[in-house]
Amino acid sequence: MKINDLIKQRHSTRAFLNKPVSEDDICEILDIARYAPSGANTQPWQVAVLTGQTKQKISDSLVYAFQQGIQSAPDYSYYPEIWHSPYIERRRACGLQLYQSLQIDRKDKVAQQKQWEANYRAFDAPVMLLFFMDTEMQTGSFLDLGMFLQNLMLVAQEKGLATCPQAALAEYPQQIKTILDYPADSILVCGMALGYEDTTAAVNDYRTDREPVSVFTRFFS
C-alpha cells in the first residue's frame, strides 16, 4: 500500500476483536519503527509491551484509580491549562463526534464515565504499549518519540493492525512504574492500543476533520 493511503487510512480505533497479536508481528513493527530520526541519534524511546495478565493488572489499577476519584498526576502536561480558539472548538467537535457514534447523550455523565474507563483498558485491545523516556531527556526527545510513534502506527496499519495513541494511559504513571518496575523518575509519555479492528463497531466509523493546508501554512519567497 502506498504511504499516502496508509497515512489517510490510519485512524484511532476504539473497539478491537478478541484476537491475539503475535509477538513476532509486534517485534517486526518495532524493528521497522526504530528507524525513526532522533536528535544526535539519541533514540530516546523505551517501549513496554503488555498482554495477558500484566495488561489486565495495569488496566484494573488504572480503572480503580479513576473510579475512586484519585487525582491523576502525569509526568508532564499534555494539554494547555487554558483552552483558546481554535483548539477548544476542535476538542469539543472531537468529543461530540465520539459520543454521537456511541449514541451517548452529552448530558449522560454515567455513560460518558464508563466510556472514559475504556481508555484505561486500552479499549480492550489485546496489546497495550507504553512509551517511556529517561528523565534527563528534554522537549526535543518528545519530537523524536512522536516520529517513532508515527512509524509504528503506519507499519501496524500496513500489517492489517489498528492502533489508538492514548494520553490517558499516562495519567497515573507512578502506579504503572511500580507494577512494571520502571524507575520512579522516568517519564511515561503515552500509551497505545494495538490489535485487530472490530469493523462492525460504530465507534470506529467516525472520522475527525483535518484543516486544509491554507489554514496552517504561510509561504514566503
* Domain assignment of residue 149, yes or no: yes
Relative orientation angle of helices 109-120 and 87-101, to the nearest 10 degrees: 100
* Domain assignment of residue 139, yes or no: yes
Q: Which CATH number characterizes residue 85's domain? A: 3.40.109.10
Query: Hey, CA dihedral for 5, 19, 45, 119, is it positive or negative?
Result: positive
Task: Cell numbers for 153, please give them.
Answer: 502506527
Q: What residue type is assigned to position 78 of the chain?
A: Y
Q: What residue type is assigned to position 88 of the chain?
A: I
Task: Give mean pLDDT, residues 173-177.
Answer: 97
- 155 in Cβ contact with 29 (< 8 Å): yes
Task: Cell numbers for 99, please give them.
Answer: 459520543
Considering only CA atoms, which of 156, 89, 96 is closest in space to residue 127? 156
Mean pLDDT of the chain: 96
* Domain assignment of residue 219, yes or no: no
Classified as helix, coil or strand, 131 is strand
Name the pLDDT band for 109 (thresholds 50, 70, 90). Answer: confident
Name the pLDDT band for 108 (thresholds 50, 70, 90). Answer: confident
C-alpha atoms less than 13 angstroms from C-alpha of 190 in its C-beta half-sphere: 16
Task: Give mean pLDDT, residues 106-119.
Answer: 89
Name the pLDDT band for 112 (thresholds 50, 70, 90). Answer: confident
Let me know the angle formed at the C-alpha of 81 by 76 and 86, rounded to the nearest 5 degrees.
115
Let me know the angle formed at the C-alpha of 72 by 67 and 75, rounded to the nearest 5 degrees.
150
Prediction pTM value: 0.96
Name the pLDDT band for 48 (thresholds 50, 70, 90). Answer: very high
Backbone angles phi, psi at 16, to 5 degrees: -125, 155
* Domain assignment of residue 90, yes or no: yes
CA separation for the pair 36, 147 (Å, rounded): 6
Percent of the chain residues past pLDDT 70, beyond the cut: 100
Check whether 182 has a pLDDT greater than 90. Answer: yes
Classified as helix, coil or strand, 24 is helix
> What is the total count of domains within the chain?
1
- Per-residue pLDDT tens over the stretch 49-105: 999 999 999 999 999 999 999 999 999 999 999 999 999 999 999 988 988 888 888
CA separation for the pair 155, 29 (Å, rounded): 6
Give the domain extent around 43: 3-207
* Domain assignment of residue 218, yes or no: no
CA separation for the pair 131, 49 (Å, rounded): 9
pLDDT at 129: 99
- Per-residue pLDDT tens over the stretch 191-202: 999 999 999 999
- 97 in Cβ contact with 91 (< 8 Å): no
